[in-house]
Chain A
Amino acid sequence: MEEKLLNKKIELLVIGGSAGSFDVLLQVIPKIKSDINFPIIIILHRKSNTPTSIAKIFSSKTNLPVIECEEKEILQPGTIYFSPPDYHLLVENDHSVSLDSSEKVNYSRPSIDVTFKNLADLYHENLAAILLSGANSDGAKGLFYIKRNNGITIVQDPAVAEIKFMPQQAINLFEVDHIFNIEEIINYINNINTTLN
């Protein structure tokens, strides 16, 4: 029993979002408890010419440190990392971040699929992933890949998502573990590694 619990420990939470996700994050991030024991990576599609103050915007709303990733940053528990615009975000075996300015994937850089795949290969069952609102099909295939690697897969309920296309793509593709509204997403995050999810 205890071993099973250990095995299922979530070592990283990744959230992917596109159009309509920023507002969701504005509701979710302030409610995340400050004693979470895993890092959170957020891959958010943004216009590349917006000033990179996203870390600042969210820093003022939570006690958790919020960082826009720099090269070879080592992931720390209890910290929220945003992908910088115009780079794919990858994590190395030593849990440092590598940025990659290669071709766009699904018309996107950062691409959610790229990071989901990389993290599934690295964390397997110790990964939880949430796909939020968006008008792009980025993320659905990556989420399925996470599921096949025994990670936990969650989508925002299309019925309440500002733009339902992105989470709906995942639902159409495979059987996701959870379809959650915002309240449920917050609850889920705050209970990671505290109960048998």
Chain B
Amino acid sequence: MKADLIKEDELHILLIDVAQKYGYDFTEYSMASLKRRVNRLCLIDKHKSFAELRYRILNDEEYLSRFVEEITVNVTEMFRDPSFYKTIRETIIPELATHPHIKIWLAGCSTGEEVYSLSIVLHETGLLHKTLLYATDINPSVLEVAKQGIYAIGDMKLYSENYINSGGIKDFSTYYSAIYDHIKLIDELKLNTVFATHNLVADRSFNEFQLIICRNVLIYFNKDLQEKVLTLFDDSLENSAFLALGSKETIRFSDLESKYTQIGREKIWRKNC
């Protein structure tokens, strides 16, 4: 284990460069995690100095994409935290069902596993046909994967266990067909989904929703940025709408706290009327 190549003050310089040149502003991300990611990238790509990394990023736009990809953590899975999806299925879905049209925003959807998990729940509860799902992320390359809906076959055992633990009622394998060592989820699941880039740091609210799901994204932001993004969500939610966060994220201590009521033990809140 070696000391970090890129020190914190250098990281700041780099982040300001990147924000000025490319418009990607990471200066309000959680520094401990960013420092880890950037130094991990230097190890993998064998950069020898801060100057070298900086030069590459500022002079090679393709490498900038790689930088964005590697420092934003993309780890995700289908039906991650089964109890969360159980609450969606049993508590939130019946509320959504009363609307003639349903609009949902999945922010920070990464490679799409979460999108298809939700689509499956909507499908099984008969709501998919009247739902419009916006699945967004800052990173265009993860969205490409999300659009395909093709995943490694090796993950299906875990996903099917998760699915069953979340209250799934079917044979999970009916949702995909296998091609060699991959599976492709059935197209029906993404018919009403719009995949689009949206940067939570820079971009505005673009619609009003009955449910916003943003899980394991806020953990990478510092407190100030968390607060700004929560306000963006608040502006994008109708009255009585729901906001769902990751299992360790909270709206406690934010301005939203007084305007929302938590649903049970899950990290789901309902906007007061």
Contact = CB atoms under 8 A, between A and B. Distances in A.
Given A72-B226, A100-B36, A121 B219 contact: no
A142 B31 CA distance: 20
Interface string A105-131: 000000001100110010000000000
Interface in A70-122: 70-72, 84, 87, 90-93, 96, 98-103, 113-114, 117-118, 121
A99 B246 CA distance: 11
Interface in B1-28: 1, 3-4, 8
Contact of A145 (B1, B33, B222, B247): B1
Interface in B21-56: 30-33, 36-37
- Interface size of B as a range: 20 to 34
B249 A142 contact: no
B1 A118 contact: no
A142 B32 CA distance: 16
A96 B221 CA distance: 12
A117 B1 contact: yes
B40 to A, nearest CB: 9
Contact of B32 (A69, A92, A103, A141): A92
B152 to A, nearest CB: 15
A92 B31 contact: yes
Contacts of B249: 71
B4 A121 contact: yes
A71 B218 contact: yes
B1 A92 contact: no
Contact of A70 (B4, B8, B31, B250): B250
A123 B246 CA distance: 29
B219 A103 contact: no
Interface of B: 1, 3-4, 8, 30-33, 36-37, 73, 75, 165, 216, 218-220, 222-223, 226, 246-250
Interface of A: 49, 69-72, 84, 87, 90-93, 96, 98-103, 113-114, 117-118, 121, 141-142, 144-145
19 contacts: A49-B165, A70-B250, A71-B219, A71-B248, A90-B33, A92-B30, A92-B31, A93-B32, A96-B223, A98-B30, A99-B248, A100-B36, A101-B216, A101-B246, A102-B33, A114-B36, A118-B32, A121-B4, A144-B1
Given A71-B248, A101-B216, A103-B75, 6 more contacts: A90-B33, A91-B32, A92-B31, A99-B248, A141-B1, A142-B1
